[in-house]
Amino acid sequence: MARSIRRSLFAALAGFTVLICLCYTGLAVVIAYVTEDMLVERLLVREAAAIEQHAARHGVLPRPASDLVTLHTSRDTLPTVVRAATAPGDLRAEVFTRTGQHYHLMVRDLAGGAGQAGTRRIYMLADVAPVLVVSKVVQDVGGVLIFVAAALIALALLLAWLLARRLVQPLQILAQEAQALRPGGTASFSARGRPDEIGILAERLESSFSELQAALRREHDFTRDVGHELRTPLTIMNNTLALAARRPLGRDEFGQLQAGLDELRATIDVLFALARAEHVGLDVFDLRDCIEHALLGVPGANEWDEQRLALTLPERLPVQGNRHLALLLVTNCVGNALFHGGPQARLAIGYADGKLVIANTLDAAHAGKVQGFAHGQNLLARVARSMGWAIAFHPGEARYRVDIRPLPSR
């Protein structure tokens, strides 16, 4: 079962919050107890200093100034619990009892006073239970402290939950939008404009999905076009070959077979060019050069006169597009015009007002073959659209014209 990233992040933040609270609570308790011990220690040190000073001046031990401190000259006079918990050589000790006393023991060696030689050992015992603040506070307001600590932890957990929700919500929305994508749909992620890593991820996902959809569309179009555009020439060639089994091919049948092969070759070139359209960039090139190259590829074009071919083109015709696709587009238009217009078709190619016009006459004597540019219009239109060009077909009874509006060079 998938685990929610928001739940995981909340668990991490909550665990970290509780850990920090426990650490700081423990640290505060330790500091309180250490401070309390240091205060008692300072009290005993001051008391010992006063006793030493008085004994040095007067030669006798004074009465401790604090009621909490008792002075012993022998270890035997110490309470039994203290003697049991300490060793004879201990100079400092802290003794806890089950009866409520809390003893601090300090052992000092006093130098002999006036007229006295040697040193003597004294035992300063302080019962500090009445001044222990920390334990008293815990007993008196421990419930309040626990309640406040629980409330703070609950507030921290709430903030952790809100923070986890706020941080993870864009990712959850992105995941939901990605899950809702369907084949053929358009990817549009709401986080695309974010200036952080989520925005970058959304842009990459959107571009990747769009590229995948475009590749799938091209594959679908390629499969459809192969089955549609190649069926007619293959059928003609198959029928021609079937006739060849019964009798030798005549000149017309052989020409028809050759024309079918040329048509297949041109159609396959266009199909593969469209399938690779995603990887073909757009540049500025001279369209006139493509037109001349297409005309030079026509058999017998060098023998045409001005009546057979009329060119009204500028010296240079810079446009924006793909040279390979543009050459295929012009070559197919010229090839269709010559093939379907009849053997005596006249071709006119001109450019005016940002529009390239290719027109051919139609021979009424070849009505069965005359189709003008109608053959392969879908492929030609797709080639033009892949470069951002516009193309329009204008059929007529005696003349057929196609208008191509390329993108002007910038």
Residue 376's contacts (CB-CB under 8 Å, 6 or more residues apart) are 229, 267, 270, 332, 336
Nearest-10 Cα torsion for 52, 54, 57, 59: -80
Phi, psi of 118 (to 5 degrees): 80, -170
pTM passes above 0.85: no
Phi, psi of 100 (to 5 degrees): 105, -15
Domain 281-300+307-410, what fold?
Heat Shock Protein 90 (3.30.565)
Bridge partner list, 356? 351, 404
Q: Which residue has the tokens 């006459």?
A: 361
Give the sheet arrangement for strand 399-405, strand by strand.
Answer: 309-312, 347-352, 355-361, 399-405, 390-394
Amino acid at 146: I
The ranges assigned to domains in the chain are: 5-138, 198-275, 281-300+307-410
Bridge partner list, 110? 120
Could you read off the pLDDT tens digit of each residue along the chain, which spans 410 residues? 346 777 787 888 888 888 888 888 888 888 888 888 888 888 888 888 888 888 888 778 888 888 888 888 888 888 888 888 888 888 888 888 888 788 888 888 887 654 455 678 888 888 887 777 777 776 677 678 788 888 888 888 888 888 877 777 777 777 777 777 777 667 777 677 777 777 777 778 877 877 787 778 777 777 776 666 666 677 777 777 777 777 777 776 777 677 667 767 766 776 776 666 555 567 899 999 988 888 887 776 667 777 788 888 999 999 998 887 888 888 888 877 877 777 678 889 999 989 999 998 887 665 444 343 444 677 788 888 888 899 998 888 788 889 999 998 87
Question: Taking Cα atoms as reference points, which of 261, 262, 348 lies closest to residue 312?
Answer: 348
